[in-house]
Structure formats: C-alpha cells, structure tokens
Amino acid sequence: MAVAAALSMGAGAVSAKSNNAAVKAAGKKCTIKLNAALDAKEGKNAGWLAQRWACGDKAPLEATGDPIVVGFQNAEGPVINFPEYRVAAEAAVEYINKQLGGVGANPEAGTPGRPLKLEICKYNALVPAELPGCANSLSSKKPALVIATLAFGEAHFAIYQGAKIPLIVGTPIMPKDFTSPGTVAIGGGGGCLGVHLGLITYATQYLLKDKLKKPKGGRVGVPWANSPPGVFCYNDLEAKPLDVLAGKTLSGAKIKSTAKLKGTMPDIKYIGVPVDSGKADVSAEVAQVLAFKPDIMVYSNQGSECWTWMNEMLKQGWDAKKSFPVVLSGACIDLVTMAKLGDKIKGIYTLGGLSILDPDALSGFAKQQAVNYRDKMAKYSKDAKLNSTGFATQGYGVVMNTWMMMNLAGGAKATGADVLKAYKATKGHVGFGSTGLNCKDAIKPYIAVCSTEVSASQWNGKALKAIKGAQDFSGLVLVGKGDELRFNEVK
C-alpha cells in the first residue's frame, strides 16, 4: 500500500460513534515529514513507521472511542511459562494507546484513532483442556483477531477457524503454526522454522566449515526440548537438515530432498538428547552430550531451561575458552542471567530474529527499533528482568506489527480479515523486531511463516554483539520446497 494512502487515514477512519469524541480530543499536530526514501533501504512503509514513532514522541496522541478488541492467548503455568511475552505485549498496547493515537490516528491533523484492548487468556500447557478453553473464551469476546504467542498444542485452530477469527502467531512452534492457510506466523526469526534451521546452518556452514576447518562436517550435539513442539522442531528442523547435509540418515538410508546443500557434508554425525521440560537435574543429559565429544553444540529452549543446562555444562567441565563452541537460540537470551555468568560463558553464540535488546550492538533503523523497545518498555513495564528476555521482544514486536497492519489495512474500519489479507500480501515489508515481513514468499509446506531470516550474535562477557557477515541469513537452504514434514525420530 502506498504510504500516502496510509497517512490519509485520519478522523474519517474513526468509527461514527466515536468520531465526535476523537475530534474533541484532537491534540497538537505533528509537523514531522515522512521520509519515503527510507522504504527503499529498510522495507515498505519504513518511512511511515519512523514518522509515527517520531510523532508519538513530539506530539503524542491518546486514543479515544470504542476499543478494538484483540484476543491474546499465552502459556503461563508452573512449568511452561512465558509471562514476558504478555508483559511486553501489554506495554506495547499502552504505548500505542497513549502516544501513537491507537488505530486510525492522523498525527498530521492531531486526530486520534481508536484504542486497542487486549483480551488476555492464560493457560497451563500441561492441562490439555485449557488451550481449547482459552480459544472458546476468547472467541466469545468476538475479537477482530487473536494473537497466539507460543501455542503448546493445536486444539485452538479449529475453534478460531469455525468462528472465522484470523490467527496471528507470534512464535510458530507446532506443525499447524507453519501450515495453516488461515494463519500468519510473523515473529522475527520465524520460530522453529527460521531459528532451528538457522542454528544448524550457522553451526555447520559458518562454524564447522570455516572456523573449525571441517568442510565435510563434524560432530554436533543437539539437546532438545522434550515437549510437543520440541519433538516436531527437533525432528523436522534440526535432525532432518543434518540428515540433508549428510545425504543420509543416521542409519545410512538415503534421504529425499530438493535442498541445495543436500549431501555437501557427508561426515556429519550428531546426537539428539531429549530434555524434559522443567527438569531441574539435567546432569545425565549433559553427560550424554559431553560423552559424544561434539565439535559444536546447538540448543533451543525457554530461557530458564537453557541456563539450567549451561550451568550444568560448566559444572561438568565445559570451558568457554577451551571447549567446543555453543550456539543458543534467541529464546535463551536472558541478559540478567548472562551478566551474572559473565566471562564463564564468554564467546557463546546466540541466534534468532533481530535482537533489539542492546541498541549499542546495532546501527541504523535496527538501532531505532532497539531504542524504541528499550525506552517504551522502561516507561510502560515495571518488570526489568522480564523486559530483558528474547521472548519479551517477540511480544512487543507482534503487537507493533499488528497495529501497523491494522492501520495500513484500513485503520479503525479494518476487519480482522482485512488485516490477515494485508499480512498475506507482504513482500519486502518492514517488520518491527525482524528483518522484514515476506508472507507472500512463504514456501510449501511452511506456508504461514512470514520471516525466516536470522542473525548471529556473540557474548563478549558483558553484552551480545552482532557478528559481521552472519546477519539476516536464512536456513531455508537446508530444506527443499515441498519436502515432507518429519514428525518422529528417523534413524
């Protein structure tokens, strides 16, 4: 959509019922000009987004009128627990409503739009009935759309589809997150698809091949989260691409794939070690990986699980200076915990979507996003520890991107179907907290995933720093279009 068209959504985009209130609440007009040239460098509507941020700071508008309801389901339980996702989403909504004028605002006219309202449903992922219970509860509120953060199950899909409610997935981890036509998965890094493929790509193509001088492959340790999504993500997006590189499965059977890199590292060997969710003692699992004597190790899990693992690695003798490299997913990022470990983990790598936790590690538009996240989270969220985690940035980003799509799809008049259609049409579009939104380019069978590019960072003992030459790459080179999904272990 043309930026000019997006900017024309002023008071006329506010509902008739709330229009008078919006006019009365008109604030100071924003005189900051749109920099359309930014689009060519940073993605479509980057200039629009930058102008909205700047206007929100210089001439803030507070939303008014009837709220636009957005459902928000999040796993928050005794073991599988992601409160940071919700905390950041709530902060983003506060920022949007209090400074950006809500949905359908016209900052140039000083006219606010309608506020967003999150209808939040928390569920215990270990109780099967709670996920569909959340979906039924949220559907009864008749939201414009529903945001699912990380869904540990798939029972909600049929419920939302039956109610004709579009589903926006923050972090795709289950098969239907990737393959459902009525869904878009927009999280930076593409959840398991981008991150897990990225972990294997970085470990093999950057570290094994170049740094460790093993171009034909080496030994890879792969502990993995033994949960419903973890089983699929390991088998389809870690074990399968490792088999693709080897050209064969662990038992020696040939593998079918149209991937470009099939068979290019015939010496690949790997060990997959399941790690039960919430397990406090992982000494046996760590010992199993260490006994394999890997050249490199990759791991993805929720933050607390990653550091239970790394602390046990240190206890059993892993040394940041002398031992094999470790590559963790962005889901593991916990700057408070990492700062406490300091030089003990110096040199470990993290990999995921654009990490906006450290503005000083970035430049240009990415740095602007990181500064926006840092400043607005500090203002609208009181939980500093949760704010500094990888999934918090995902929560903030999924709300910011959905707010942007609402505006570009018709402002306050946009339906959930309009927003889904706008998402589906993205190609080279700016994405908050990601390298961009490219839903139109999604490949089969992963037709719902809109962002697969990932970037690598390295811990220097005090902070994560972006690695030059390993930014904005995709691991899709390890799978072929139309390759079959792998749900179970294949020897």
Question: What CATH number does the domain containing 209 carry?
Answer: 3.40.50.2300
How far from each other are the two terminal CA atoms of the chain, in whole angstroms? 48
Number of structural domains (the chain) is 2
64 with 197, same domain: the answer is no
- The verdict on 312 and 293 lying in the same domain is yes
Same domain assignment for residues 84 and 69: yes
What's the rounded Cα separation, in Å, for the pair 119 and 315?
44
Whether residue 70 contacts residue 147, with contact meaning beta carbons closer than 8 Å, is answered with yes
Do 269 and 133 fall into the same domain? no
Residues 331 and 267 in one domain: yes
The answer to whether residues 72 and 218 belong to one domain is no
The answer on 472 and 423 residing in a single domain is no
Assigned domain for 330 exists: yes
One domain, residues 370 and 350:
no
Residue 449 lies in a domain: no
CA atoms of 316 and 73, how far apart (whole Å): 39
Q: What is the pLDDT of residues 322-373, one digit of tens each?
A: 999 999 998 899 999 999 999 999 999 999 877 788 888 788 898 999 999 9
pLDDT at 25: 60
pLDDT in tens, 157-176: 999 999 999 999 999 999 99
Structure tokens at 346: 């110096």
Residues 9 and 134 in one domain: yes
Same domain, 350 and 370: no
- E strand intervals along 178-315: 183-185, 219-226, 269-276, 296-299
- Let me know the angle formed at the C-alpha of 133 by 127 and 138, rounded to the nearest 5 degrees: 140
- Residue 490 located in a structural domain: no
Query: Hey, is 420 helix, strand or coil?
Result: helix
Residue 158 CA from chain centroid, whole number = 23
| Range from 6-20, 403-417, 477-491 that averages highest in pLDDT | 403-417
Instruction: Please give the pLDDT value at position 354.
Output: 72
Q: Quick count: other Cβ atoms within 10 Å of Cβ 177? A: 30
User: Are 311 and 329 in a shared domain?
Assistant: yes
At 179-203, the pLDDT tens digits run 998 899 998 777 889 999 999 999 9
244: CB partners within 8 A, 6+ apart: 255, 257, 259, 261, 262, 263, 478, 479
Q: Does residue 441 lie in a domain region?
A: no
pLDDT tens digits for range 328-339: 998 899 999 999
> What range does the domain containing 44 cover?
3-165+359-433
* 261 assigned to some structural domain: yes
Q: Which two tokens stand for residue 454?
A: 């990932």
Query: Residue 171 domain-assigned?
Result: no
Residue corresponding to tokens 């902070």 = 463
- 32 and 80 both lie in a single domain: yes
pLDDT, mean of residues 426-430: 95
| 88 in any annotated domain | yes
Question: Is 266 part of a structural domain of the chain?
Answer: yes
